[in-house]
Amino acid sequence: MLESLKQSVLEANLDLPKYNLVTFTWGNVSAIDRNQGLIVIKPSGVPYEKLSLESMVVVDLEGKVVEGRYSPSSDTPTHIELYKAFPEIGGIVHTHSSHATAWAQACRDIPIYGTTHADYFLGEVPCTRSLTEEEIESGYEKNTGLVIVETFKTKNKNPVYTPGVICANHGPFAWGKDAHEAVHNSVVLEEVAKMAYMTECINKNAKEAPVYLQNKHFYRKHGANAYYGQKELL
């Protein structure tokens, strides 16, 4: 069942330690099969070096386990809300990567200080509001997803053009058209968070990059007029 999707989710999970995005089991990747409405996700608390195709968990959009002998990631309800609200995305990553988490703990959006950021994220990487006591005590993981969706709606941001977020006092989520791209964006988010942190240490009054520079870099890599990279696959 969903063997090829499982393979890509397995590989994407194994990429998390490879890119130094995780300590212990602090991260998970999922991907969705939109036709079948099924999600493949990492099992909860299983070390990356013990993961195999067989340990991947398949859940439906209600969170019911359809296949797999393990419990799915405790963050599964968050993934589900994102897949429901953002129909264009195919893969999601959650980590506690150091720099992005520091911004989340600081409860601040990550300002767009340069082209490294603009190559992947249009505008700031938003930080959600804090969840209320009620939201935390009842359906915490689901509400984490809902507050991310709320953040994008309130700020009128397109999740395809800003493929990531940081959750207040928690950490980052990133996504993409598939699990591989979601990991890619997680790596970028961590690097962007690191650079923004240092930028402010170097200049307390640092300003965001000019909007036309932001757009230039983003659309150099994305959309119909993109000219970065190769037209054909290598």
Indicate which residues carry an active-site annotation.
119, 228
Binding mask 50-69 for its own copies (x = CB under 8 A): x-------------------
Strand duo 65-67 + 38-41: pairing = unpaired
Q: Could you tell me which stretch among 4-12, 79-87, 153-161, 165-173 binds its own copies (CB under 8 A)? A: 165-173
SS (HEC) of the chain: CCHHHHHHHHHHHHHHHHCCCCCCCCEEEEEEECCCCEEEECECCCCHHHCCHHHCEEEECCCCEEECCCCECCCHHHHHHHHHHCCCCCEEEEECCHHHHHHHHCCCCECCCCHHHHCCCCCCECECCCCCHHHHHCCHHHHHHHHHHHHHHHCCCCCCCCCEEECCCCCEEEEECCHHHHHHHHHHHHHHHHHHHHHHHHCCCCCCCCHHHHHHHHHHHCCCCCCCCCCCCC
Residue 223: exposure state from Cβ atoms within 10 A (0-12, 13-18, ≥19): exposed
Tell which one of 62, 64, 223, 229 touches its own copies (CB under 8 A).
229
Binding mask 67-106 for its own copies (x = CB under 8 A): ---xx--x---------------------x-xx-xxxxxx
SS (HEC) of 72-96: ECCCHHHHHHHHHHCCCCCEEEEEC
Tell which one of 40, 165, 188, 189 touches its own copies (CB under 8 A).
188
Tell which one of 89, 123, 184, 189 touches its own copies (CB under 8 A).
184
Tell which one of 27, 77, 114, 145 touches its own copies (CB under 8 A).
114
Q: Per rule CB under 8 A, is residue 49 in the interface with its own copies?
A: no
**Shortest distance, CB of residue 28 to its own copies, whole angstroms?**
11
Tell which one of 7, 48, 63, 115 touches its own copies (CB under 8 A).
115
Tell which one of 23, 36, 154, 158 touches its own copies (CB under 8 A).
23
**Shortest distance, CB of residue 200 to its own copies, whole angstroms?**
7
Q: Compare residues 36 and 211 and give the one whose CB is closer to its own copies.
A: 211
Q: Per rule CB under 8 A, is residue 230 in the interface with its own copies?
A: yes
Footprint of its own copies on this chain (CB under 8 A)? Answer: 23-24, 26, 43-46, 50, 70-71, 74, 96, 98-99, 101-108, 113-116, 130-131, 133, 136-137, 140, 169-171, 184, 187-188, 191, 194-203, 206-207, 209-210, 212-213, 216, 220, 227-231, 234
